[in-house]
Amino acid sequence: MSDTLTENSITKILNKLPNKCFPKELPKNIFTLDLLAAKLDDYLSLWLTTKNHIEDSFKLKKPITEPIKPLTESIKSLTEPIKPLTKPIKPLTEPIKPSPNLESSNKPSETYQSSTLPPIQNFISISPTNQVNNSILSLNPSIISTYSQAPLIHTEPIYFTQPPVINKSYINPEINFENRDKNVTMKCLHGHNLEWSYKALIENFLIFKKIYVNCEVCKCKLCKPCWNCNICKYYVCEDCGRSNGFIGVKILCEKGHDLRWKCNVSTVNMRMFKQSYWTCAVCKGTGNCEVWHCSLCFYSICKKCGTSRGVNAVEMSNSCIKGHTLNLVNDKNKTCSQCQTSIKDKHYSCGICPYIICKKCYRFADLAIPQLAILSCPSSHLLRWVDYRVFRCNICRLSHREGNFTCKICNFDVCSECSDYLEYINYYCIEKFDSNYHPFQYMLVNGNKSLLPKCSRCCNIFTSSCGIFACQYCKICLCIDCFKNWNEVNYRPR
């Protein structure tokens, strides 16, 4: 092939090039092979840039592939005739060896026939956990997941010294959620089944007086419904459960937001829309009591419709958190689970759960409770919702005439607006940081007025029983209004 090119030779070359990369016509100033190679190289670079952009943007499962050779050699090879195959293809003489993982298995009961799903034995063999003899069960997807389409190969369970660290954004593609065996469940370190619960955080607060719990897998703070073991107090967050192939039952609004158990929906509607009731989006019923609600979309579902969708209400109306009836007993030397005082006479107790309350606390046992334990007083008493009354909020220090959360024992009140904000930052784990990047923590202060701090911005002195946001390292304290509006803090959802 000569270096000088004619229109016919250029047309023949373009017809044999891929249509995706190169056009069928070129400018008329192309006369030599070098000019043609340079021009086609520009088209090739443009196509490669577009191809990489498409693959990165849409994350294609099958990336765009085109066999690309050096451009000058490809153009020269187009004019050369195809050489016939001189060496015959040798037949396959050696048999295909079976997988070493299947050979090393102890008792392979069945063989795998389908080509769509891998056998579980192969999936276990590539597990990153260490197989050592220990008494801690794995939370790895290879153990707690199974298939209904693929036969199980009987193997010993994997044990390891510490729970595996699971990437929260990773969902195992091998787990078939629809066809997964419903009898297979997650287990705690002692082999107990984990249950999905909206009441796990409240139950933990009533026993240990802690607002947060930590996920045993990813070690993050838990503020939402989670998987838990009531016996061992073992908790696994929703993301780690999903990574293992288990999805908890939740109620969502039309835009996919989580619905939370709210007591103040009718109060908020009265303040904003001048109507003292809510409307269920499912049955179209109305009411002014507790309801499943999305504060972003003003979407509500009543208790009955929520129960029909597999989610029980968060309530303790004359019962324990599990819904067991409280009985009057005459045991002595007991401690009240609410006010932590010593009981010397008759009290109310749950015969199944370790929940005991005195007669004074039982007077308010029929009042509604919040879903999150952050609504508590400085004495760690869970707040209860009361209807319309006149009070002064211990958080924003303003007077109100509406329903609110209160502690009848300590006379601690939180208004509807402050309770919504506290539940919001607690549920979504929103942290704010000072200039030294130290997180502000919500604290309940109770002490002498002379020893109380003052707000670092507005310089108002806090009351003897109030809630503040403070950095213990920098000795910075903020009231709730300054915490909301201070521009120097940074937002970082956990």
| pLDDT of the residue at 263 | 92
Q: Give the span between the Cα atoms of 236 and 217, in whole angstroms.
A: 6
**Which structure tokens are listed for 226?**
């989670």
Helix (H, G, I), strand (E, B) or coil at 371: coil
Asked if 141 contacts 243 with a C-beta cutoff of 8 angstroms, the reply is yes
Enter the pTM of the model.
0.60
**Res 433: pLDDT:** 84
Query: Does residue 235 contact residue 222 with C-beta atoms inside 8 Å?
Result: yes
Query: What element of type H or E holds 417?
Result: helix 416-427
CA dist., res. 442 & res. 373, Å (int): 13
| 24 secondary structure, DSSP code | S
Integer Cα distance of 11 and 335 in angstroms? 94
State the angle between helix axes of 265-273 and 416-427 in degrees (0 to 180), rounded to the nearest 10. Answer: 120
Report the pLDDT value the prediction gives residue 439, as an integer from 0 to 100. 87
Residue given tokens 């269920």 in the structure block: 280
Contact assessment for residue 381 and residue 339, using Cβ atoms and an 8 Å cutoff: yes
What are the two backbone dihedrals, phi and then psi, of residue 490, each rounded to the nearest 5 degrees? -110, 145
State whether the Cα torsion 7-13-16-20 is positive or negative: negative
Q: Which residues pair with 291 in a beta bridge?
A: 262
The pLDDT, as a whole number, for residue 2 is 45
- Quick one: residue 204, left, alpha or beta (phi over 0 = left, psi -120 to 50 = alpha)? alpha
Helix residue spans in 17-154 (DSSP H): 33-58, 71-79, 100-104, 120-125, 141-144
* DSSP tag of 214: E
Phi, psi at residue 39, to the nearest 5°?
-70, -45
First to last CA, the chain: 66
What confidence tens digit (pLDDT) does each residue in 131-161 have? 333 222 333 333 333 323 333 333 333 333 3
* Residue 177 confidence (pLDDT): 43
Two tokens, residue 231: 């016996």
Q: What is the DSSP letter of 132?
A: -
Is domain 432-493 annotated with CATH 3.30.60? yes
- Per-domain boundaries in the chain: 7-79, 120-248, 260-414, 432-493
- The crossing angle, in degrees rounded to 10, of helices 71-79 and 33-58 is 120
Cα gap 305→312, rounded to integer Å: 10
d(CA 337, CA 478): 31
Sign for the pseudo-dihedral over CA of 452, 456, 460, 462: negative
The stretches in the chain having pLDDT less than 70 are 1-184, 447-451, 486-494
pLDDT at 80: 53
The tokens describing 373, both together, are 């334990």
